Structure 1
Amino acid sequence: MVTLWKHGAYLLNGTELVEDDKDCAAKLAAKLGACPDQAEAAKNTMAYGILAAHNTSGTMDRLKIKFDKLTSHDITFVGIIQTARASGLDKFPIPYVLTNCHNSLCAVGGTINEDDHMFGLTCAKKYGGVYVPPHQAVIHQYAREMLAGCGKMILGSDSHTRYGALGTMAMGEGGPELVKQLLNKTYDINMPGVIGIYLTGKPEKGVGPQDVALAIIGAVFKNGYVNNKVMEFVGPGVANLSADFRIGVDVMTTETTCLSSIWTTDEKIREFYETHGRLEEYRELKPGAVAYYDGIVEVDLGKVKPMIAMPFHPSNTYTIEEVNANLGDVLADVEKRAKVSLGGAVNFSLADKVRDGSFYVEQGIIAGCAGGGFENICDAADILDGASIGNGAFTLSVYPASMPVYMELIKNGAAAKILQTGAVMKTAFCGPCFGAGDTPANNAFSIRHSTRNFPNREGSKLQSGQIASVALMDARSIAATAVNKGRLTPATDLDVNYTKPKYYFDKTIYENRVFDSKGVADPSVEIHFGPNIKDWPAMSSLTDHLLLKVVSEIHDPVTTTDELIPSGETSSYRSNPLGLAEFTLSRKDPAYVGRAKAVQAAEKARVSGEKPCQVLPEVHEAMDAVHTKYPEADRTNTGIGSTIFAVKPGDGSAREQAASCQKVLGGWANIANGYATKRYRSNLINWGMLPFLVDEGELPFKNGDWIFVPGIRKAVEEKKTSIPAFVAGDGMREFELKLGELTDDERQIILDGCLINYYRTTK
């Protein structure tokens, strides 16, 4: 089904692979008459060509990228624009689309969500952007329909910013990276590796894009095979996939922790652009005659079976057939994982889901950027045609990804097929993907064609004694399960006539409802500020030394951004830095906020000239230990802050608040064995936090310890990568902190205390 090659490989004429092993030179010489230069062949990937066209640095080793377009949604755009305004924004320099697909429901927080929407509309008018009102389209569907272009690059403040199937290299990053683009700065990275995703064969009837995506994610996530690399989809199997199918696979590449993706383009992608009235955006993309890849993921599409990602991660994958055949073993493994993921906060058992030897679920959802596409819903409708979902506990909700898609489903009758079963169709909304819509009953099990199944992703609250769980599946198998009233069923078990209706895109809805400034700013427009929209608090520059208290210690293999700052109802406070910060780590370590605030009070006392120990007496004991080795350290040169340890934090969302909330509460650093994603590490840096690393193994400190980092400012200025630190308490126990690679700009941002301060000092 999926094979990972041990070595890199050469791709010849887009069809034939030659592995870069000991016999490679001889094989290439036999085929080509000579052995090509590896470095030159690496320039023949599609990824290299697109990156080179957008690079402004003059060297491909260290890229400085300028994107063609930007996009954000209503969880992120307020903070981004507020940061950019504080840093000197006067006009959006490139097309910037503000969608309203996350905070579309206004049941939580009173007027907060709609206030944010009006903020977005007035900013689009004032600075020259595009505003997509609530319920019109989810962020990525609008981008596919209206923004993507072959050979283009798009940066979005949502982790699933992936339009590679349409020939667009897109990246999801934290808000500060979009701020840089708004201020005519660049996105700075080293040249990433490129991994070939070599597709062969044709999917079996009933197998959908989520099945293929989950098969790939299950094969590459744990070993980091594509981590921070570009996935380049090539091979003869690409031609056997529709545009919608490719899009469905592509959007899920985020869950592999890759940097971006790109696919070969062909007549089917040309037809997509023609259908959407933007044929000028199409051009053929393919690798050069001899292209080199740093690794190969070989996928035989014909061998992919209907898949399920069991709780609590998209990489916890099985075939549905395996789950049904080995229910006892699989459910026991999920329950074992739950003890780690949930920390024993609630009792979690799936035993009640097994009835008469079959596994039953309570809810099905087809939604968002992954599941809400036209083809997914049409196939689901064909499966459901004439069926009933029953009048028991099982429910089914379907969310088309945009109003144009919804309208076509009404016109061709697919919506009627779905509704007559007892299922519900709703408007474009990302809520089911992050826990703000369709929260099932306590202990219920939901199957979803959406993007993630982390703990609480379905909206339950551990801190309130609630637990529900999500498994990821393809729309077709969700529909097949619905036909059987909740009994877990792969779509390949049913004999279905898939009608495959043609899609007709009608942009009249957008013309009637979307505000498009056409890039013309109107400085006279007054920005609408609701009472919950607050400015960022002042942040201090890095001091000579740091005294850090460890206020949380997390030993899960991976810590998601949902655990660092929960999604769901907290999203209503995303425009209020202080208000949102109250939720930091609330579902993972509820005591964190109180501990961090106590340390922050000591720092505030230091800054105001008072004695920190009068606010937090334990500072006195820690500084007594520090003075045994560093008598010069005092409140004039030693900042006091908090830090957390996590094994590998930052998997999942691009939301910057996972880092900024820690900073708002006085955080100065994270300490980790590694960072799950580049975007989370970048978020830390952009908020002036030190991304420290320690070697794996027994930690030299524990939760509640004070850590003294001497000469940290000088170490950052002098580009040191290794820094001595001490556990300050009963003596001074020395250990090593590492910073990893930092660009000059990143070092200056840390020295200045955050990106806002950096721009103030570099104007």
Structure 2
Amino acid sequence: TLLGSDSHTPAAGAMGMLAIGSGGLDIAMAMAGEPYHVAMPEVWGVELTGELPDWCSAKDVILEMLRRHDVDGGVGRVIEYHGPGLETLTAMDRHVIANMGTELGATSTVFPADDAVKRFLAQQGREDEFRKLHAADDAEYHVTETIALDEIEPLIAEPSSPGNVVPVTEVAGDDLYQAYIGSSANPGLRDFAVPAMMVEGERVPPAVSFDVNPTSRQMLQNLTEMGHLGDLYASGARVHQAGCNGCIGMGQAPATGRNSLRTVPRNFPGRTGTREDSVFLCSPETATASALSGEITDPRTLEDTHDMTYPEWSEPEAVIVDEAALSPPPDEPGGDLEKGPNVKSLPDFERVPDSLAGPVLMKVGDDISTDEIMPAGSDVLPYRSNIPKISEWVFDQVEQGFHERAEEQGAPWLVVGGSNYGQGSSREHAALAPYHLGMRAALAVSYARIHWQNLVNFGIVPLEFTDRDDYDAIEQGDDLELPAVREELQNGSEVTVRNATRDATFTAEHTLSPRQVEVVLQGGMIEDYKY
């Protein structure tokens, strides 16, 4: 098993482990010896058959899942892939699929630890660590599904949601400003080598920015050793420092309103660092074909337009392994904690009072992401350790200057959201920063798992509408009252809500466990741990 404070931690499910992403505080508490709690998910069995056709790759498989089920289809589930089609997918192909199970809302994604995993470990010089692990032959699943890999076609997610998936043919010919390969969603050697072989001897049109974000220093070394990095440079590609970079708005920001094709996992509004961006999600093949053509392109058409055959790629038996930046743990733990001038203490957390009353300072629709609640990007990320400063960007993607209204209002105030509120990144600042500004409760049709837990961890009461009509009846600015919130949280699952502005009363509910009720009433996990 693996716990990680990145929402894409489940990518490690490609190696046969149950890997779960969560907020940083959950992980810190687990490292301190506290148990990690998660609601028991259903298991969704997806059988893979056949083999992917030329010009399609693993990204098209997970895009097919998103096309079928959208961004909330995996909520409350672990996805387990099985079937004969697995034999055609490498460990890093599986990584691509497991990584973006997060975009389906899944708790995790699991593949068997089989010969593909053994080959990957051998490639990295770690074959002795391999342990075979797979589901029982008679395993039963709560939900079942089949994907015929040989029927997959090149797919693309249109702006601005990973769930807006259509065949590339539907948008082929559209204008292109940028094509971008790399990120946690396509980090494998083949995800750079295949594009490099596609552009060998070709030049990308000067009007297109062809950006390459290598996965790691090790990736750069191997691409250099194999000659692929030189081919990318010769094509006109811009090769950047290894890291998340443009995926999270740290560079490579596209022009306003211009189309950017990216192999990243998310295309939420403004995530690139450009407020009015237009980002499509696709495979490395589609991104590279589009870069070469100067417009969104079905990669299969390169056979006619560029007399190109699909590159033949096979994983090398061994690769350069770079451990130069890996430092061993110190012999003696501890030491003084030194804080720079931009490292501030956490806000004080208050116990939930007997009653709560405040205005709906923000009402948002369905599928609002943590990128919209608390953006990342080059302007914001330098202040991750400074909650008062980073709070200036709360809901900035929705309403510029929102924090000024929040500061003027003061605590307490509430947020009303639609379904799947808080999808996306595990960014706990999307709870911490609103709390600092005075948010004390949320009312949503439903929540994304990690953000829901982060709200609890930082003392914000997460309630759910029992009737969508109650959500529709509330307007931003309405004054809401929770007259007996503390008592009702302790004694049941229903909480009374009064809309004082409209003289209406309705019942909301919560799905908190008794432990979580205790945590949120205490003012969050830190306060609960203290006392």
TM-score (norm 1): 0.66
Deviations 1:446-479 (A, max 9, x none): 1011111111122112xxxxx2211011111211
Does the alignment pair 1:421 with 2:230?
A: no
Match for residue 38 of structure 2 among 186, 189, 212: 189
1:115 is aligned to none
Name the counterpart of 1:682: 453
Judge conservation of contact 2:123–2:316 (CA < 8 Å) in 1. no
Whole-angstrom CA distance in 1 between matches of 2:26 and 2:104: 21
Partners of 2:317 and 2:96 in 1: CA distance? 16
**Distance in structure 1 (CA, Å) of the matches to 2:474 and 2:162:** 32
Which residue among 479, 490, 512 is the counterpart of 1:717?
Answer: 490
Q: CA deviation at 1:317?
A: 0.7
Give unmatched runs, 5+ long, in structure 1.
1-152, 325-357, 462-466, 604-640
Superposed counterparts of 1:389-404, under 5 Å: 389-391=204-206, 393-404=207-218
Q: CA deviation at 1:491?
A: 4.4
- d(CA) in 2 for partners of 1:225 and 1:421? 39
Unmatched runs of 5 consecutive residues or more in structure 2: 304-308
2:113 maps to a residue whose letter is T
Please give the secondary structure, in 2, of the residue aligned with 1:190. coil
In structure 1, the residue matched to 2:263 is: 449
Supply the AA of the counterpart residue of 1:483.
L
Whether 2:432 is the aligned partner of 1:656: answer: no
Report which stretch shifted further, 183-192 or 481-490. 481-490
**Equivalent position of 1:379 in the other structure:** 194
Give the Å deviation of 1:715: 1.9
1:332 alignment partner in structure 2: none
User: 1:522 aligned to 2:294?
Assistant: no
- Paired positions, count: 521
Shift of residue 599, structure 1, vs aligned partner: 3.0
Aligned to 1:746: 516
Greater Cα radius of gyration, structure 1 or 2: 1
**2:98, 2:108 within 8 Å by CA — same for their partners in 1?**
no
Contact 1:457 1:470 in 2 (8 A): no
Secondary structure of residue in 2 paired with 1:419: helix
Compared CA separation, residues 468 and 727, structure 1 to 2 (3 A): closer
- Residue pair 2:74, 2:101 contacting (<8 A) in 1 also: no
CA offsets per residue over residues 627-685 of structure 1, 9 Å max, x none?
xxxxxxxxxxxxxx10011112111111111111111111110111111x111100111
Tell me what 1:303 maps to.
151
Q: Deviation at 1:489?
A: 3.3
For each residue in 1:584-611, what CA deviation from the matched residue of structure 2 results, as whole angstroms up to 9, or x when unmatched? 00110235323322332xx5xxxxxxxx
Distance in 2 (CA, whole Å) between partners of 1:399 and 1:503 is 24
> Which AA in structure 1 matches 2:329?
S
**CA drift at 1:430:** 0.5
Among candidates 477, 481, 484, match of residue 704 of structure 1: 477
CA distance in 2 between partners of 1:570 and 1:491 (Å): 40
Partner of 2:384: 574
For 1:178-200, what per-residue CA distance to the aligned partner results, in whole angstroms no more than 9, with x for missing partners?
Answer: 12202211121232100001100
Change in 2 beyond 3 A, CA 1:275/1:736:
same
Kept in 1: contact 2:443–2:462 (CA 8 A): yes
Calculate the aligned-residue CA RMSD, in Å: 1.8
Is the 8 Å Cα contact of residues 93 and 188 (structure 2) preserved in structure 1?
A: no
- Percent identity at matched positions? 27
The one of 203, 219, 237 aligned to 1:388: 203
Asked if structure 2 preserves the Cα contact closer than 8 Å seen for 1:373 and 1:400, the reply is no
2:18 & 2:35 partners in 1: Cα distance? 16
Assess, with a 3 A threshold, how the Cα gap between structure 1 residues 499 and 755 changes in structure 2: closer, same or farther. closer
Tell me, in whole angstroms, the C-alpha distance in 2 between the residues paired with 1:163 and 1:522: 28
Match of 2:344 in 1: 534
- 1:634 matched to which residue of 2? none
Q: Return the letter of the residue paired with 1:562.
A: D
Q: Indicate the residue corresponding to 1:283 in structure 2.
A: 131
Runs (4+) of structure 1 moved beyond 4 Å? none
Which residue matches 1:597? 407
Alignment of 1:58-77 (within 5 A): none
C-alpha separation in 2, matches of 1:516 and 1:735 = 57
Question: CA separation in 2, counterparts of 1:562 and 1:744?
Answer: 30
- Assess if the C-alpha contact under 8 Å between 1:206 and 1:492 holds in 2: no
Q: C-alpha displacement at 1:304, in angstroms?
A: 0.6
Q: 1:68: which partner in 2?
A: none
Aligned 8 A contact 1:306 1:492 in 2 = no
Deviation string, structure 1 residues 343-366 (Cα, Å, up to 9, x no partner): xxxxxxxxxxxxxxx323011110
Question: Match of 2:498, as an amino acid?
Answer: F
The one-character-per-residue Cα deviations of 1:381-428 (angstroms, maximum 9, x if unpaired) are: 11111000022x201111221111210110010111111111122221
The answer for the alignment partner of 1:65 in structure 2 is none
Structure-1 residue corresponding to 2:325: 513
Shift in alpha-carbon separation, 1:442–1:198, aligned structure 2, 3 A: same
Q: Match of 1:550, as an amino acid?
A: V
TM, length-normalised to structure 2: 0.94
Write out aligned runs for 1:101-250 (5 A): 153-161=1-9, 162-221=11-70, 224-250=72-98
CA distance in 1 between counterparts of 2:298 and 2:332 reads 53
SS state at 1:292 partner: coil
- Assess if the C-alpha contact under 8 Å between 1:440 and 1:468 holds in 2: yes
Match of 2:358 in 1: 548
Task: Sort the Cα spacing of 1:492 and 1:260 in 2 relative to 1 into closer, same or farther, 3 A.
Answer: farther
How far apart in 2 are the matches of 1:564 and 1:493? 41
Distance 1:698 1:685 in 2: 23
C-alpha contact (below 8 Å) 1:408/1:504 kept by paired residues:
no
